[in-house]
Each structure stands twice: as C-alpha cells, then as structure tokens.
Amino acid sequence: MSEASGQMTAQGPAGARLRVAVEAPRHTSIAVLLDYTCEHALAPGTLVRVPLGAREVAGVVWESAPSAALGRDDPAREAAPKDLRAVRAVLDAMPALDARWRAMIDFAASYYQRGLGELALAVLPPQLRQIDNGQLARRIKSATSAAAAELGQAVARPVALNADQAAALEAFFAEAGRPALLHGVTGSGKTEVYLHAAARALAQGGQVLVLVPEINLTPQLEARFAERFPQHLLASLHSALTPAQRLRHWLLAHLGRAQLVLGTRLAVFASMPRLALIVVDEEHDASFKQQEGARYSARDLAVWRAQQLGIPVLLGSATPSLETWQRVQQGRYRRLVLGSRIGQGELPRVRMVDMRQLLRAGAGQRAAQGAPSGAADDAPLAPPLLDAVRARLERGEQSLLLLNRRGYAPVLHCPACGWKSGCPHCSAWRVFHKLDRTLRCHHCGLAERVPRACPECGNLDITPMGRGTEKLVEQLGAVLPGARIARIDADTTRAAGELVRQLAAVHEGEVDVLVGTQILAKGHDFRRVTLVAAVNPDGALFSADFRAPERLFALLMQAAGRAGRDAAHAARSEMWIQTTVPAHPLYAALAAHDYEAFARAQLDERAAAGLPPFTHLALVRAEARDAAPAMAFLHAAAAQLATLAVPGVRVYPPVPPAMARLADVERVQMLLESASRPALHKALSQWLPGLNALRAAHKGVIRWAVDVDPQAI
C-alpha cells in the first residue's frame, strides 16, 4: 500500500478476508456484505474503495477475519480467498468508524428496511467517496489547524436558572437512563436548560449533539451555543453547507475536536466518539422524518442511540408529538415541566373571528352589486382583526400574520370555461406569482409565464382564486398606508443570508407587520410582537391526513408563542384566529393553551380508530409512467404477502396517494397495519426480499420503496 494515496494492487496476496458494506439497496441481488481480500487485516469501520462489477465504489469494512475462520456454514459468499477480488484503496488517514456507530447503522438499516451499505455511505459526507488517502490526510490537517485558531479565550458567564428550570435540570440528570420530555410552554426557557445540560456534559469531557428540525432554526441556536461556549469548538451539519464544509465539520466531530455538533436530521448519524448528551429541539416537528431514500426518523434514532450508549437524551417541545406524549403516559419517558414564561412574559389571549357572518355579509354585498356569487372576498382581514393591527401600529408594536401558503394565489381560473392552472406533470395546481408573472408548480418546479388569455377558450379575463402571502402583503399595503410590511417565506429567503437579514430587521423594529408562512411560527424571539393572527387555518381541520389536526395545533400554538414574550407588552398580547368553525374542540383547547386536553382527545380518537400510536404502519410505494403497472405490481405483492401467512398484519388495497402524479410519474401505495411492531417487521423482512423479482415481471415499474412509520399517508 502506498503511504501517500492508500492505493493497493488489484490482486494483492490474500493476507486477510474482509466483509465490506457497499452502496447497494437492500432488496437487490447484491448481498448485504461482500467479501474482498486485502494484504493485511483492516479494522472494522475502515473506509475502502473496492471493485464492484466494472465499477470502483466506496465501502466500509464491516467485519474482518482470517479466511480459515470462515466455515462452510458462514453466510458470506462461498469463495476461496484466491477467487476474491482485492481492495483497491484504503482511507486510513482517519480513525475507523467505531462499533457503536456501526451498530446504529445496522439497526437503522434493519428497522427502515434499507441496504446496510446504502445507508452507511449515504450518511457520510459525499467527498469521502471522492478523495484519496493523501487528500484526506491534508483535509484533516487543514481542519484541525483552523479549528485550533477558532477557539476563543473568553469564558462566558452562565445565565441563572429559575426554579422550574433548575428543577427540570436536576430531575433530568437524576435519572439519565430514561428519555426525558422537556415540556415547556413557548418562551419558558427550554434553550437555557439545553445550555446548562450541555455545560455539564462538556465539563466531563463529552461531546454534545443538538438536533433541530429545520435549517432556518440553526443560525440563532448556533449563536446561543457559540456565545455560551467560546472555548469549545462547534460544528454544524445540515444541507446548506458546501460539500467541503460538510466534510470539514464531519471530520471535526469524528476526530472528537468538535465538542458541540448542531444540525438537522442527518446529524443524528454524526460520528462522535465521546458523545455524552443528545438534545432534540422541537421534537414534534415532522421535518425530523426523512421523506426520500432511507425514510428514517431522526428523533426516534436519537432516542435509540442514546439508550444504546447509556447517555441522557432530552426531547424539547411545547406541543409534543402524540407518540412521545403516549410514552410519557406509559412511564417510558419522563416529563419535565416548564409551566410559565421567563421574564414575566404571558401567553397571549386567544380570540376567534367567526368568518361565517362576514362571508354571508360579503356574499350579500356582491349580489347587490351584481358581482358573481363565487367571487372571492377582497378584504385582507376581518374588520375587528384589522382594527387590532391598526392599534398596534399606533402604539409602535408589531403584528405577525400567519398564512401558510406562498405565492399570490393558489390557482388561476377562467370563469368562462372553468379552466384552472393545473400542472401538466403533477396532480397539483400551478401557483400564481404576481411579482414575476409566473405560474409555478411547487412540486416539480415547472415555471411558465402567465398566459395572456385562457389556453382553452381564449377568454382574456382569467382571475386568481384564493390568497397567498404575496397577495396578502399587497392587500395590507392598500389598507395600511405607511405601514412597514415585510414578507418572509421560501420565496423571499432564497438568497444566502437573506433570512438572517430580514429577521434582524424585525428585531430592530424596522418592520410593523410581518407576513409569512410556518417559517415564522417556531423558535423566534420577537420581543415587539403583541399580535399574532392565523389568517386561514381551517383547511387542516378537514384533511384526509389523520395527523393534520395535531400539526395544526402545534403550528398555531407555536405561532401564538411569538406574542407576549416581553413583560412590558404581555398583558395586551393576543392571538387571533379567522375561522368558520369557532366552536371546534381544537380551537377551544388552543384558547385555553391546554395541550393536555387536546392530546387526550386526539389519543382517544386514535385509539378508537386504531391509528398510531396504537398501531404500527408501513407503506409500500410503487412508481411508473402509467398507474396500471404500479397498481398491478402492488396487487401481486399483496398476494405474495398473503402466502406468508404472518398473523396480526392487515394489508389494505393499493390506492393512489393525494399527490398521485409527480413530475410525470404515477404513484400508487399500499398500507400495512399491525397492532404488533414485531409482527409488522417480521412480515416486512420475509416479504420484501422477493419483491425485486416480482418487479421484474411487471415491466414499467420504475421503482418501489418501503416507508416504515410513515408520516404522510
């Protein structure tokens, strides 16, 4: 082996037989582990490059044993060492991935039904698959040298905890072997508890992993941790990093130089040899579930990893997921309560605006004017809510308006023939964006100029239907002259650093009315906001997704938490809800800030309906250019599962999902349900390996995948 590059001869002497995990899906003809030879034994966890067919691919040594130790009954491929191909290169400039990391990958691959090497290589920085040993050594030297220069000399003074925070922290460490839910109302100081918990772990020489659901929440939390721990190196891991940055930060964590690692869901797989504490902030957030490739739950893997290592894990939320809440009720998790806001802040008063009366009045007025009965109401807000916003303007306070729909209008419509701006490639409408006069599909990315006339009948009077954040800002500008109105959503924050810049303007008092999507609902400490309003939240109440009410309640409660954080304004802080169902139990629980009542009612409904967390689900999805082959494939798959006769597993007929077509690909899915998690996994492990052969018999099926514990059905 060359010292500089780690290259090995293609047919070296068979000194050792290695079992290597390569990047291949689980349910293929490629074995989970492939055998190779090497001039000498390599430690398990070593990164290598090996031949696979005509290609050279990256791999991870999973097991290493002399060939004589492998008997006839060994599950490895039957081949004498002289018949095996040799490892091409070894990346031993960095320490091998340890047994605890490999155990997590092994568990995750098995639980989520993915290939071992497929998952192991997918969660490593992509550049590790592209550089040689010499380049890796130089990257390590550069990263460690720069890291040493970044450390500060100042010692930050910790903030004193209040009684609730101190009690929660002591209870957390008193029984560190059981996962803990830090259940604190918005603004109750959960982050300060995280910081104090991290300080204890760092003082003992450990590393700390902090997971957040979205990239947007990382800068401010990073700043808090960096300010508190200037003498400890912090590395961030999320998809907004460049490949070089991701490799550098990952190496610092793997080498143990970064004592603090903060990132989104992928960071749960970070290699951290001295990991001593895991924190999952906003643990209820659906963003912790990966929706493509290996569909894992970072929150659930964080809990598993902590229990495997015997270290404490802290899950924080004002609105815990129902799965977590049920585990608290069962005694499997502990609940640590922060029941009041810090700094004498108060939760806002919740007020309902009954839109039925306003809609009826608007319909009558339009009829009297001869306007079409279906015409949209052009009022930006209900009059009492608009008056409340004006009152804030007069007092120099801020208002936040939540409308979880970007663009100007969800759809363009022709009143003459009924044409709507559907996407030709997806089962979705193209959204009208007025600023650049485009119709955009928010699913496949298709963007086209707005047509001058209806494409079907030529009518020049095509009109927008509904309202998005762009239109709301325009309407508010007309009725609130002189008000400084800002919009924050995915469209206005695309440029690097733009979100940070806009949030800084809000904090500096340069904005009077802030309009945005759910990006504004969580994690932000807006001290001047005294009014939060949900403009149109009712849609989720009638969704076919059984999780929609849970997500709506969390969104609204988190949004309400942006108001009343400053004691000087807390008494007059309000949360307004524009709704056509003001008596709905969800809104009643929200008005009382009563998460427990909401969770109790939801769990009762789910228990009666046999839904998670009282049952366990898996989805098998198939995709094809035409729905017929995908449907036929899943019907055949269901018949094959029936022959296995695994008791306690129910299979529902295959159906199209809500988004049946995406980017010209038709999608069909089939649901498996069981009250027993072991029974469901037994069925999956016996059934799924045979589906590739079944797929070959159904020409036209592009791909199929399984989603264990799906978050969207």
User: What CA–CA distance (Å, rounded) separates 87 from 38?
Assistant: 6
User: What CA–CA distance (Å, rounded) separates 388 from 391?
Assistant: 5
Q: Token pair of 163, please?
A: 């009684």
User: Is pLDDT at 342 greater than 90 in this prediction?
Assistant: no
The residue from 134, 169, 195 where one domain ends is: 134
User: Is pLDDT at 456 greater than 80 in this prediction?
Assistant: yes
Residue 562 within any structural domain of the chain = yes
Residues 452 and 478 in one domain: no
Q: Token pair of 355, please?
A: 């839109």
Helical residues (DSSP H) of 464-547, grouped into ranges: 469-479, 498-507
User: What CA–CA distance (Å, rounded) separates 228 from 403?
Assistant: 35
Residues 679 and 545 in one domain: no
Residues 380 and 494 in one domain: yes
* Distance set, CA 99 to CA 59, 61, 257, 539 (Å): 16, 11, 19, 48
Residues 518 and 399 in one domain: yes
User: Is pLDDT at 157 greater than 90 in this prediction?
Assistant: no
Lowest-confidence region among 456-470, 493-507, 696-710: 493-507
The angle subtended at Cα 583 by Cα 347 and Cα 471, nearest 5°, is 70
Residue 695 within any structural domain of the chain = yes
pLDDT at 367: 53
Residues 315 and 281 in one domain: yes
Q: What is the DSSP string of 202-229?
A: HHTT-EEEEE-S-GGGHHHHHHHHHHH-
pLDDT at 9: 43
Strand partners, 334: 180
> How many structural domains is the chain composed of?
5
Q: What is the DSSP string of 59-74?
A: EEEEEEE-GGG--TT-
Contact indicator for 345, 562 with CB cutoff of 8 Å = no
Which position has the higher pLDDT, 441 or 523?
Answer: 441
User: Is pLDDT at 8 greater than 90 in this prediction?
Assistant: no
Which position has the higher pLDDT, 379 or 326?
Answer: 326
User: Is pLDDT at 327 greater than 80 in this prediction?
Assistant: yes
pLDDT at 429: 96
CB pairs under 8 A, 24+ apart, for 152-157?
152/230, 152/231, 153/230, 153/231, 154/230, 154/231, 155/230, 155/231, 156/227, 156/228, 156/229, 156/230
Percent of the chain whose predicted confidence (pLDDT) is above 70: 91
Phi and psi, residue 444, nearest 5°: -100, -10
Lowest-confidence region among 151-160, 573-582, 641-650: 151-160
402-418 mean pLDDT: 95
pLDDT at 10: 40
Residues 227 and 285 in one domain: yes
Residue 149 within any structural domain of the chain = no
pLDDT at 72: 34
Distance of CA 274 to the CA centre of its chain: 26
Task: Provide the 10 A C-beta neighbour count for residue 196.
Answer: 20
Phi and psi, residue 456, nearest 5°: -100, -40
User: Is pLDDT at 650 greater than 50 in this prediction?
Assistant: yes
175-187 mean pLDDT: 92
pLDDT band at residue 65 under the 50/70/90 scheme: low
Residue 538 within any structural domain of the chain = yes
pLDDT at 82: 65
Domain that holds residue 632: 616-708
CATH of the domain at 650: 3.30.70.600
CATH of the domain at 314: 3.40.50.300
Q: Is the dihedral of CA 277, 127, 19, 64 positive or negative?
A: negative
640-662 mean pLDDT: 94
pLDDT band at residue 365 under the 50/70/90 scheme: low
User: What CA–CA distance (Å, rounded) separates 101 from 45?
Assistant: 9
CATH of the domain at 31: 3.40.1440.60
The residue from 584, 607, 630 where one domain ends is: 607
Residues 117 and 213 in one domain: no
pLDDT digits (tens, 9 = 90+) for 195-230: 999 999 999 999 999 999 988 888 889 999 999 999
Residues 517 and 598 in one domain: yes
User: What CA–CA distance (Å, rounded) separates 78 from 564?
Assistant: 69
Residues 416 and 524 in one domain: no
pLDDT at 358: 78
Lowest-confidence region among 28-37, 64-73, 658-667: 64-73
Residues 428 and 477 in one domain: no
Residue 449 within any structural domain of the chain = yes
The DSSP 8-state label assigned to residue 498 in this structure reads H
The residue from 607, 626, 659 where one domain ends is: 607
User: What CA–CA distance (Å, rounded) separates 139 from 133?
Assistant: 10
User: Is pLDDT at 74 greater than 50 in this prediction?
Assistant: no
pLDDT at 362: 61
Distance of CA 412 to the CA centre of its chain: 31
pLDDT digits (tens, 9 = 90+) for 345-356: 788 999 999 998
Residues 386 and 508 in one domain: yes
User: What CA–CA distance (Å, rounded) separates 128 from 126?
Assistant: 5
Residue 147 within any structural domain of the chain = no
Residue 5 within any structural domain of the chain = no
Lowest-confidence region among 118-122, 128-132, 154-158, 589-593: 154-158
Residue 145 within any structural domain of the chain = no
Strand partners, 338: 184
Mean pLDDT taken over the chain: 90
Beta-strand pair 89-91/47-52: antiparallel
Phi and psi, residue 319, nearest 5°: -135, 75
User: Is pLDDT at 521 greater than 70 in this prediction?
Assistant: yes
Residues 322 and 355 in one domain: no
User: Is pLDDT at 378 greater than 70 in this prediction?
Assistant: no
